[in-house]
Structure 1
Amino acid sequence: MKIIVTGGAGFIGGNFVHYMVNKYPEDMIINLDLLTYAGNLETLKPVENAPNYKFIKGDIADRAFIFKLFEEEKPDVVINFAAESHVDRSITDPESFVRTNVMGTTTLLDACRTYGIKRYHQVSTDEVYGDLPLDRPDLFFTEETPLHTSSPYSSSKAGADLFVLAYHRTYGLPVTVSRCSNNYGPYHFPEKLIPLIISRALNNEELPVYGKGENVRDWLYVTDHCKAIDLIVRKGKVGEIYNIGGHNERTNLEVVKTILKALNKPESLIKFVTDRPGHDRRYAIDPTKIETELGWKPEYTFDTGIVKTIDWYLNNKEWWEHIISGEYTKYFENMYGERL
């Protein structure tokens, strides 16, 4: 089977490529990524020479390029991780989120229709549901929760989801959608909360925390997410949405303090900063559907996953130091420059 993984040089996509290349040596995994600021080919070093792996640089919103790629590669499955994903960036530059997340998705869908894809899977987010009140711990997002977005980022992801489901209903395209809670683990870009706190704490720098740090997130270890997506693509029902959650709710402040304790750093490093506009209060997923229908369960609790994550960052300082310094952007030219 030939599988195109878009956004495979990003955090979750990169972990997914690792997982698939190692688990399915008989499948060909094609990593399609434009290598914008968060795309990092250094993430793929461990698999870049594998016989069942190929990297292609390209833009999912470039229709001519995508159709040519499908014509040449004839993929069986497309799994779309490619997205602009940072909420803060979406507030200052919404247009780029519309282009990649909505127009890029519809371009992929049109190519899938034209070339008879066997399965298209859309990797989405629980942020399309909006947020939940802090004083109602009994409430959770289900697949039937109405969409109620809060940011340009989540709005663009919701729009993409609706196009995916519309292509199934209108054209009969075999699609699935997954919506996950906050991921964490190896290769997480340092602008996001957990790697930001780890990297800055190791350097004894101030740790910015929005508001009072009371916002709650349900944390999902990235390998658990990868296994869930693999299961959905292979066994999930066409046309269905599956929520993927970790049952690991923590306030942002609790997450920061947990990391500081593990690194033996003082809480005096914490600096509360002005909250961002429209900051969602609480995310919490009910993953009953994927657990009962497909038998998926997360293997990691937050306590076990965060230890594994911190250890990875301690043992791979060169990876995140290259990002902070900007050196990571040179890897593509070093690897592929002479071949272009």
Structure 2
Amino acid sequence: MITGGAGFIGSALIHHIIDHRYEQVLNVDALTYASQPEALAGLERLSRYHFERADVRDASRMSQLLAQYQPNAVMHLAAETHVDRSIAGPEVFVDTNVTGVASLLEASRQYWQGLPDDERAHFRFLHVSTDEVYGALAEGAAAPDESSPYAPSSPYAASKAGGDHLVNAWHATYGLPILLTRSTNNYGPGQYPEKLIPLMILNALAGRALPVYGDGRQCRDWLHVEDHVRALCRILDAGQPGESYNIAGGAERSNLVIIQSLCDALAQQAGLDSAALRALISHVTDRPGHDRRYALNARRMRDELGWEPNHNLGTGLAETVEWYLSNVHRWQRLFEPAADR
């Protein structure tokens, strides 16, 4: 059972499981604004794929789906994720990312406790979180590992931290076999256009300004979505219940460098002028509480689970640009060009 399976990471996870594994998949998604059902087009013909439109905040509905489909794992990805939206309207982030987690945890606990002993032993609840729960890192500071304290800055990060604490509490109190993951910034083909990389690509193609918060030197680590979903499956298979795992791309770049790289990739692939695209970069007032740097220490993933990212950032960005150039039908209805977003 995958919640948020019509989202960017969720849909990539479903495709990975369908293509590389043997399990049946139940996709549970409320189909909110950022959902993209077209990313899963054609899967409805497969007997291994099932879809149910439902909200994780509805505990009785979650209980009903668990009883109906009898999953051996719940992979919880459904969340509100956009920091700017959390600043403008934090309530829905608390409602989904905290209350929704509690509802799903309780439904999962009751389901798990009713399973036969052998099925109980193999059941897992995997919860997907973010590097932002650790808060801002100073330049040159060591990246946080799984034991580092939380210090969230934004309403989004605080809501995710709250959900994480609930997940750990359900393990400590009830013994629910949880796995908690945190990843750095994801990118790749098909991401919703409010996120930095697709927004810059589409603004540039429209000849609109490329708005950069402040000086643009905020630094993030970038993880290709396909590497992320490989890591999630590896953790599901071999992670230790009650433990958490950091997933990182090992590719820290400033926002300004990312945007300049996208301009260069667009120029090469679309026959545009790189200097003209870079001239569209416009520095705008920084957002409140904007953390300067995020990163993660992912040594546990490498040393204990044998996972490393496969994608190089340069080729990954080029592949992402190519996807948006080749799939106008996918993003055109979602994108509203704007110079002030």
Aligned residue for 1:38? Answer: 34
- Mapped contact 2:43–2:49 kept (Cα < 8 A): yes
Q: CA deviation at 1:46?
A: 4.4
Q: Percent identity?
A: 46
Equivalent position amino acid for 1:148 in 2: A
Matched, 1:129 2:134: yes
For the residue of structure 2 that corresponds to 1:323, the secondary structure is: coil
Q: Taking structure 2 as the reference length, what is the TM-score of the superposition?
A: 0.92
Unaligned runs of 5+ in 1: 326-340
Q: CA deviation at 1:177?
A: 0.5
Matched, 1:309 2:309: no
Q: CA deviation at 1:308?
A: 1.3
Aligned residue for 2:6? Answer: 9
Give me the whole-angstrom Cα distance separating, in 1, the residues matched to 2:266 and 2:150. Answer: 39
Aligned residue for 1:82? Answer: 78
Deviations 1:210-266 (A, max 9, x none): 111010000000000000000001110110010000110000000000000111142
Q: CA deviation at 1:205?
A: 1.2
Give me the whole-angstrom Cα distance separating, in 2, the residues matched to 1:17 and 1:155. Answer: 28
Give me the whole-angstrom Cα distance separating, in 1, the residues matched to 2:97 and 2:180. Answer: 14
Aligned residue for 2:186? Answer: 183
Aligned residue for 1:323? Answer: 334
Matched, 1:276 2:287: yes
Q: CA deviation at 1:17?
A: 1.0
Equivalent position amino acid for 1:263 in 2: L
Give me the whole-angstrom Cα distance separating, in 1, the residues matched to 2:38 and 2:285. Answer: 34
Unaligned runs of 5+ in 2: 113-119, 268-273, 337-341
Give me the whole-angstrom Cα distance separating, in 1, the residues matched to 2:24 and 2:50. Answer: 8
Aligned residue for 2:215? Answer: 212
For the residue of structure 2 that corresponds to 1:18, the secondary structure is: helix
Give me the whole-angstrom Cα distance separating, in 2, the residues matched to 1:299 and 1:160. Answer: 29
Backbone CA RMSD of aligned residues? 1.3
Aligned residue for 2:339? Answer: none
Give me the whole-angstrom Cα distance separating, in 2, the residues matched to 1:278 and 1:49. Answer: 46
Q: Taking structure 1 as the reference length, what is the TM-score of the superposition?
A: 0.92
Aligned residue for 1:243? Answer: 246
Deviations 1:35-84 (A, max 9, x none): 11101101111433222111110100011211111121111100000000
Aligned residue for 1:299? Answer: 310
- Mapped contact 1:15–1:187 kept (Cα < 8 A): no
Give me the whole-angstrom Cα distance separating, in 1, the residues matched to 2:281 and 2:43. Answer: 37
Aligned residue for 1:224? Answer: 227
Q: CA deviation at 1:322?
A: 2.2
Give me the whole-angstrom Cα distance separating, in 1, the residues matched to 2:235 and 2:149. Answer: 22
Distance change >3 Å, CA 182–CA 165, structure 1 → 2? same
Give me the whole-angstrom Cα distance separating, in 2, the residues matched to 1:106 and 1:23. Answer: 31
For the residue of structure 2 that corresponds to 1:54, the secondary structure is: strand
- Mapped contact 1:176–1:239 kept (Cα < 8 A): yes
| Aligned residue pair count | 320
Give me the whole-angstrom Cα distance separating, in 2, the residues matched to 1:261 and 1:225. Answer: 25
Aligned residue for 2:263? Answer: 260
Give me the whole-angstrom Cα distance separating, in 1, the residues matched to 2:43 and 2:259. Answer: 32
Question: Which deviates the most, 316-325 or 201-210?
Answer: 316-325
